[in-house]
Structures are given as C-alpha cells and as structure tokens.
Structure 1
Amino acid sequence: MSLKNILVAFNGSEGSVSALKYAAALADETTHVTVLLAHSDHDIVTSSGMWVPSSARAIIEQANIDFVAEIEARFNALRSDLNLGDRLHYRREAGRVDGVISETARAFDLVVIGQDLPTEEVNEHIFVHPDRIALVSGRPVLIVPQGHDAKAIHSHAVLAWDGGRAAARALSDALGLLEDQGHVTVLSVGDTDAPRPSKDLMDHLARHGISATREKIPATPGPARALLAYCREKDPCLLVMGAYEHSKFREDFLGGMTARVFKRTPIPVLLSH
C-alpha cells in the first residue's frame, strides 16, 4: 500500500467516528493519520452586533469553547483503541470548514470523511460536504458510512467505469487499495456499449496484480439507484467512482449521481475528480 499520510475530517459525529476507525484500519506500521477538526470561525450563536450585551457574548464564547472541547473529548476517548501511537496526530483549525479541509488535504495521500446522514443533527459550523472537498481539494475522498465495520471480510471491490476522465482519475487514486484487495469488478451501468478502452483497462489491472471481471447492469430505475442496489446486494468492500464528470452546477441542478451515491451508500466510496 502506498498510503503513508491520511487525513481524517473529524467533527464528533457517528460518521466521523466510523471514518477514523476506517483510516486506522487502512494504516500499516509506517502510515501517519492526522485528525482535523475544522470548525467555522463564525460564532455558533452569533455574538456580533452591538445589541448583544457583553455578559451574553461571554456566555456565547464559553459555549463555543465547550462545544469544541466536547468533540476533542470524543476523539481522545477513541485514541487508545486505534493503536497508532505517535503516528496519530490531532489538530483543529477555524475557517470555512470545506475550505480548511480541502486546502489541508492537498498535502495528504487521502482524506477520509464520515457519512453524515440527512436526518442526523450535525451543527452547520462543523458540517462537512464530501462532494465539495472531492471537487476542490485535488485529492481522493473516501466516504465511510456510519457503523461500517472496517475489519469485515469482503470478496471484492467495485470500480464504476464509464471510460471517462473522472473514472480514470479515480482508478489511479485507488490503485493501491485495489492491489491490496486483489479482486475488482469493473462495473458499467446502462445499456450502451461497453466503454473504451475495455481490453486495455483489464490488462492494466492485471499488470498491477489485480484479478478483474467485467459486469454490466441496466440503469433502472436510474444509474445511482442501480449502482446502490448492486452494492447492497453484492456487499463489496469498496466502491471507486469518478465525481462530477459533468459540471458541478449541472449535478446540483439535476440532482446528480455523485451526491445521490455518497449520501446513501451502504459501503465506503472513493471519489475522485
């Protein structure tokens, strides 16, 4: 495995706990894991404005301190179980959350982020948007579902392949993980002809010691739902896919596949753009 430097976005949510445990499971004896608590530099309850009495501002500021301290306490409670010793690092930084994580991630091999469910109450001042980070950071983003067992045994990984640029980038970013897994299903979604380059792709995987098979599924009732249903049925260890092959605006406007998949995935997903 070529992963030597992993960043984990940690906000104290159940998803971020799963992400941290997953990153620790990926690490070998030479891998460093850095935990980053990024939080908005705006007050959780705004203390700006001349109308706010100084006594109230003091209470708000203390509440902000306590809020961050609770997240740090949750991390510290997990530290000893991760067995990373002095290769586990912690930092916190104020600013725009997605921006802080994206800029920090550029000096890491991989950023691991928990899946915060839409129904879960996560304070907006610590909320992480994995799709934005995949789009802006220039690094692969691995999204881990809540409660995922990083030590469970799975038969294979899945590469969502449409022959496009983003899929090729995702393959490159995930190659070390796929080599460790040993077997990959190259999955195409839809009724179109198999995307090129088919034979070249299979040869490429084989030359990296990866046993690969091809499979095609219909894109009904939609490509995202079809892909998610496949993952639920086959239970692979990892889904590798490109993010935002079309524009981010188009994805948002049409309710794109990228967002649908990472918000509902039952397994870890590696996104690259």
Structure 2
Amino acid sequence: MSVRNILVAFNGSETALSALKYAAALAGDIAHVTALLAYSTHETVDSRAAWVPAKARKIIAEANAEILTEIETRFDAARDALGLGSRLHFERAPGRVDMVLSQTARNYDLLVVGQDLSEEVDTHVILHPDRIALLSGRPVLIIPEGYEADAIRQHAVVAWDGGRAAARALSDGLSLLQGKGRVTVLTVGQTTETLPVPDVVRHLERHDVVATHEQIAADPGIARALLAYCREQAPSLLIMGAYEHSKFREDFLGGVTARVLRDTPVPVLLSH
C-alpha cells in the first residue's frame, strides 16, 4: 500500500502537534494530509433545558466555540512550517470523537494520532487511539509527544507473535517498512521453533525489505520487555497488532496494547 492520503486527529494538544509534524514528514512531496478536529457536542448540563437562562446558554455556546477556535488557531500557527502547501487540509466534525475519527479514517490510508494524554485536553476533544484502532479497520500510527519526525526512516521493529492481529499489522505497515535502513522482526519469549519467523523474513524480502530476527525474554512481561527494548534500541517505528484477546479482557486484566501505548517512547503502528 502506498501512503498518499493521511488523516491526523488534531485536538490542539502537544501530542497532536507531534502527530501533525510526523504526518507531514511522512507525506514527503506526494501525500495529502488532512487534520481533523473531531469534537463532542455532549453537555454535562443540558443548556437547552427550559430552566437554563438564555444568557447562560449563550455563555456556554461561546465557551465551546472558543475551545474549537483556539485549536484551529494552533493548527494555523503550525501550517507554514509543515511545508505541505495545498496538500494540507483542515476539517471539523461533531459527534462521538472516537467514532467520528474511526469512520473518517476508513477513507484514508493511515490515521496518525498523538498519545492518549487525556488530562491535557478538554473533555470535548479527548480521543482514545486503541479504541479507534479497533473500530476503524485502518492502521493507526501513535506518536509520542515531542518525537522528532526526522528519525522517520532509521530502524523499524515488527513485534511478531504469529497471531492474526500481528499479521494484519505487518501487512498494513509494509509501505512504511520499504526504504527503512534496518528492520527487525522481534519475538518476545517465543522461538523460531514455535513461530514461522523465517517465513516472515522471506515475505519481507519479497517486498524489498531486508529484515533480521531478534528474540528477547518476556521478562518481567511482554509489554515491559517491548518497552525496555524500545528505550534501549530507540527504533523509529514499532509495528504491532492490537488486542489479540478481547479489549474488555485486556482492560480488566491489564493488556500489552494499553501498556505499550501509554508508555511508548517511539511511534507505534497499531492494527487490529
């Protein structure tokens, strides 16, 4: 898949700015980038209720509008430095934020979002990358706050466990792997005897991606092992499948996906 049409979830946060800059670097001289401000219209207090004075309704409406205007102003301030010209677009869309982004992403090659740092943004524009990956059917690229986009093509890691989600992530990430200086197929706590890793390496080679295999111990757990590897090796991209088990089970027990997304120091391409 050639990446020509990129969607960015833009809610004005620092992580959203990092995601926008990364998407612009990824776009190069070809792709279009659309920044989408998805926002909720839900109100804790129904301002349309009969008992709410007209003056109060006006104040609430103006406050909500001001939040969105400030976010768009922040986008405009970053526009020129991105260097995309007419290939950079901005849109607003009301609704349930995760659902709006998931549905819109189906018309794009890739959705780029910032890490979920909910405490930093207004509740009307909070988004959840892991939920979006489950709902959208498209690959979601999560960018840590402040990540330098110029490291985009140095070293990629494919977290491989032989599962359906990992296979989907590998397929979705092929276009991002092509042209990488170095690609590692990483297994955690499993060996080539239990996984067809040579087949994966050969598959990548047939797509002009030269890869090597590396195995690490699943100690003190898969998520922590992955995060420790990323901190030590500093790859420019981690590709992994999302929620091989149900999201409810992973949320309840504590899953690999949520832990990696919360603490990752590097961009993560997530597919389900």
Quickly name the TM-score band, shorter chain normalised: over 0.9
Give the whole-Å Cα distance in 1 for the aligned partners of 2:98 and 2:115.
14
Query: Matched residue pairs, number?
Result: 272
Give the whole-Å Cα distance in 2 for the aligned partners of 1:208 and 1:95.
40
Partner amino acid, structure 2, of 1:246 = H
Give the whole-Å Cα distance in 2 for the aligned partners of 1:203 and 1:192.
17
**Greater shift in the superposed pair: 229-238 or 40-49:** 40-49
Q: Does 1:66 align with 2:54?
A: no
Give the whole-Å Cα distance in 2 for the aligned partners of 1:81 and 1:45.
40
Q: What is the correspondence of 1:210-229 to structure 2 with a 5 Å cutoff?
A: 210-229=209-228
Alignment partner, residue 23 of structure 1: 23
Q: Do the aligned residues in 2 keep the contact of 1:161 with 1:195 (CA within 8 Å)?
A: no
Q: Could you say what the CA RMSD is over the residues aligned between the two structures, in angstroms?
A: 1.6
Give the whole-Å Cα distance in 1 for the aligned partners of 2:82 and 2:68.
21
CA deviation string 1:53-76 (max 9, x = no partner): 111110110111111000000000
Give the whole-Å Cα distance in 1 for the aligned partners of 2:162 and 2:66.
49
Report the 3-state secondary structure (helix = DSSP H, G, I; strand = E; otherwise coil) of the residue aligned with 1:151: helix
**Greater shift in the superposed pair: 219-228 or 136-145:** 219-228
**What are structure 2's unaligned runs of at least 5 residues?**
none
Partner amino acid, structure 2, of 1:109 = D
**TM score, norm. by length of structure 1:** 0.95
Q: Do the aligned residues in 2 keep the contact of 1:15 with 1:146 (CA within 8 Å)?
A: yes
Partner amino acid, structure 2, of 1:145 = P
How far the C-alpha of 1:115 sits from its partner, in A, is 0.9
Partner amino acid, structure 1, of 2:230 = C
How far the C-alpha of 1:44 sits from its partner, in A, is 7.3
Q: What is the correspondence of 1:252-267 to structure 2 with a 5 Å cutoff?
A: 252-267=251-266
Give the whole-Å Cα distance in 1 for the aligned partners of 2:173 and 2:100.
23
**Greater shift in the superposed pair: 174-183 or 88-97:** 174-183
Report the 3-state secondary structure (helix = DSSP H, G, I; strand = E; otherwise coil) of the residue aligned with 2:123: coil
Q: Do the aligned residues in 2 keep the contact of 1:182 with 1:209 (CA within 8 Å)?
A: no
**Greater shift in the superposed pair: 42-51 or 63-72:** 42-51
Q: What is the correspondence of 1:58-97 to structure 2 with a 5 Å cutoff?
A: 58-97=58-97
Give the whole-Å Cα distance in 1 for the aligned partners of 2:186 and 2:194.
10
Percent identical among aligned pairs is 65
How far the C-alpha of 1:211 sits from its partner, in A, is 1.6
Q: What is the correspondence of 1:173-192 to structure 2 with a 5 Å cutoff?
A: 173-191=172-190
Report the 3-state secondary structure (helix = DSSP H, G, I; strand = E; otherwise coil) of the residue aligned with 1:30: coil
Alignment partner, residue 233 of structure 1: 232
How far the C-alpha of 1:221 sits from its partner, in A, is 1.1
Give the whole-Å Cα distance in 2 for the aligned partners of 1:152 and 1:240.
16
Alignment partner, residue 109 of structure 2: 109
Alignment partner, residue 123 of structure 2: 124
How far the C-alpha of 1:125 sits from its partner, in A, is 1.2
Give the whole-Å Cα distance in 2 for the aligned partners of 1:165 and 1:124.
34
Q: Do the aligned residues in 1 keep the contact of 2:15 with 2:115 (CA within 8 Å)?
A: yes
Give the whole-Å Cα distance in 1 for the aligned partners of 2:201 and 2:12.
41
Partner amino acid, structure 1, of 2:200 = L
**Greater shift in the superposed pair: 31-40 or 122-131:** 122-131
Report the 3-state secondary structure (helix = DSSP H, G, I; strand = E; otherwise coil) of the residue aligned with 1:125: helix
**What are structure 1's unaligned runs of at least 5 residues?**
none
Give the whole-Å Cα distance in 1 for the aligned partners of 2:102 and 2:87.
22
**TM score, norm. by length of structure 2:** 0.96
How far the C-alpha of 1:263 sits from its partner, in A, is 0.9
Give the whole-Å Cα distance in 1 for the aligned partners of 2:31 and 2:87.
7
CA deviation string 1:3-54 (max 9, x = no partner): 0000000000000000000000001222010010000022476424332211
CA deviation string 1:241-263 (max 9, x = no partner): 00011111111111111011011
> Given the superposition, is the C-alpha separation of residues 202 and 78 from structure 1 closer, same or farther in structure 2, using an over 3 Å criterion?
same
Report the 3-state secondary structure (helix = DSSP H, G, I; strand = E; otherwise coil) of the residue aligned with 1:107: coil
